[in-house]
Structure 1
Amino acid sequence: MPPTCPFNSKNEVMNGISSNDIVQDKLIPIPSHLKQSKYGFNAFLLLLQYVTPFHLIAMGLFLSLFLPTTIIAILSFAFFLYPLIKQVLRYYNYLPVPYSECIIRSTYSARCEGDFVVFLIGIRPNGANPLTKSFKEIVAAFQKMIAELEADRTLGYMGGDLYVSANSRKSATMYVQYWRSYEALQKWTHTRLGTHVKIMSEYMKTDRFEGVNGIWHETYKVRDGEYECIYGNMPPMGLALATQAVYETKLNNGSKRMQQRQKEKEAQGF
């Protein structure tokens, strides 16, 4: 199990610094294990495209045909009480809220020196069968690509996170990635023996024409200092997780955060 996050779960931030003593732009160290996408990553998220509450209800009703009434009553009672008891215990602070130790109990922003790239990529199963060979291959390939990027930071990949869509009409998933430069992204995607080239070669042979799985991406170049972000009482995430997290004492200060990097550069003589 990875080490716990260095953030206090009370009304304090790490190292006993109270929220009243926070120094704006002070760097917040983030454990390296939080920067890995496999932290909380579920390999079967894409199955949510197919599995609905109706499937689960139907499965329960089907099993009830083969189990004694007493067993069904015990199981129903247990499945109902277990999450309810856990929630009550969390409410009265007898159990911690999941990942509550990872929350930065303050307001913070992100600091990234230099230009960077935001890369969005996602897939959508278009067929009705979640057990097709191409579906399983594309899930495995996606995980393999992320593992390769996280294993070698010299490739230019800074970090990212996976999101599941609430709109089944569009992409089933979206992975938000942050790259050091567009050149680094292009170099990795076009490396002859790289994972991405092999995967895309297979996709071009089959899914490109059959359309069983859809795939998309968008790329955005962000110039140095031309970004703004704010996080309040959140775990390390987004650009702050991929680069650096710094304390931010003011919430409604978007325009000044946008200008902050330019002021830093001017102070350094750039």
Structure 2
Amino acid sequence: MRDKIQLGRRTAAPDGEVVVFLIGMRVNHLWALHRWLPVFFAMPAMLRELVRDRSAGLLHHVLLTGLPRTYYVVQYWESKEKLLDYARSPERKHHSWWGRLNRYVRESKGHVGIWHEMYVVPPGRYESLYGDMPVSGLGKAYGVAPAGAGARGRMKVAV
């Protein structure tokens, strides 16, 4: 299915801070499937859970790859609290997977690596522009508005 192209210039329209979570894995030894395949399949299971239960706080996600070795997900969240609550909740898939993932990585002896980064960005400290394209990224997570002012005006700080 194709997303509808939004003609003109648009910008993301979050109300408040923006929470972006990047998480990924790197396959260090391609031939050792038994070492990295369980890690590879963990994220889709958690994403399915989050998409089914929107109250958990995930607004949007994008799966990306740096073939053939690196796979990662960009996630946009309602709040840092909801992200951290999801990660800690014993009722959620992340809790049980986290222990398993750490064991797989530890036992893989360098065959697979994992990483994550979380960014909590205050209002006025992010900027986005989408021109003649489908809504994506921050705009898909938080909604869009006409772009209007240049980057300096959208950020509300000196650029």
Deviation track 1:46-102 (CA, whole Å, cap 9, x = no partner) reads xxxxxxxxxxxxxxxxxxxxxxxxxxxxxxxxxxxxxxxxxxxxxxxxxxxxx3x62
Higher relative contact order (CA 8 A, sep 6+): 2
CA drift of 1:129 comes to 1.2
Q: Which aligned pairs between 1:43-62 and structure 2 lie closer than 5 A?
A: none
Deviation track 1:230-256 (CA, whole Å, cap 9, x = no partner) reads 011121110000111112245xx0010
Matches of 1:161 and 1:105 in 2, distance apart? 22
Task: Give 1 or 2 for the bigger CA radius of gyration.
Answer: 1
Indicate the SS of the match to 1:149.
Answer: helix
Structure 2 letter corresponding to 1:204: N
Paired position in structure 1 for 2:156: 259
Paired position in structure 2 for 1:218: 117
Corresponding position: 1:178 with 2:76: yes
Paired position in structure 1 for 2:27: 125
Matches of 1:203 and 1:145 in 2, distance apart? 13
Deviation track 1:3-44 (CA, whole Å, cap 9, x = no partner) reads xxxxxxxxxxxxxxxxxxxxxxxxxxxxxxxxxxxxxxxxxx
8 Å contact kept, 1:113–1:225: no
Q: Could you say if the C-alpha distance between residues 223 and 232 of structure 1 is closer, same or farther in structure 2, counting changes exceeding 3 Å?
A: same
Matches of 1:163 and 1:189 in 2, distance apart? 21
Matches of 2:79 and 2:136 in 1, distance apart? 20
Q: Could you say if the C-alpha distance between residues 218 and 108 of structure 1 is closer, same or farther in structure 2, counting changes exceeding 3 Å?
A: same
Matches of 1:116 and 1:258 in 2, distance apart? 13
Structure 1 letter corresponding to 2:155: M
Q: Which aligned pairs between 1:74-153 and structure 2 lie closer than 5 A?
A: 99=2, 102-129=4-31, 132-153=33-54
Paired position in structure 2 for 1:197: 95
> Structure 2: 5+ residue runs without aligned partners?
none
Higher strand share: 2
Indicate the SS of the match to 2:45.
Answer: helix
Q: Which aligned pairs between 1:9-88 and structure 2 lie closer than 5 A?
A: none
Identity, in percent, stands at 31
CA drift of 1:141 comes to 1.4
> Structure 1: 5+ residue runs without aligned partners?
3-98, 261-270
RMSD over aligned CA atoms reads: 2.1
Structure 1 letter corresponding to 2:145: V
Indicate the SS of the match to 1:146.
Answer: helix
Matches of 1:127 and 1:255 in 2, distance apart? 45
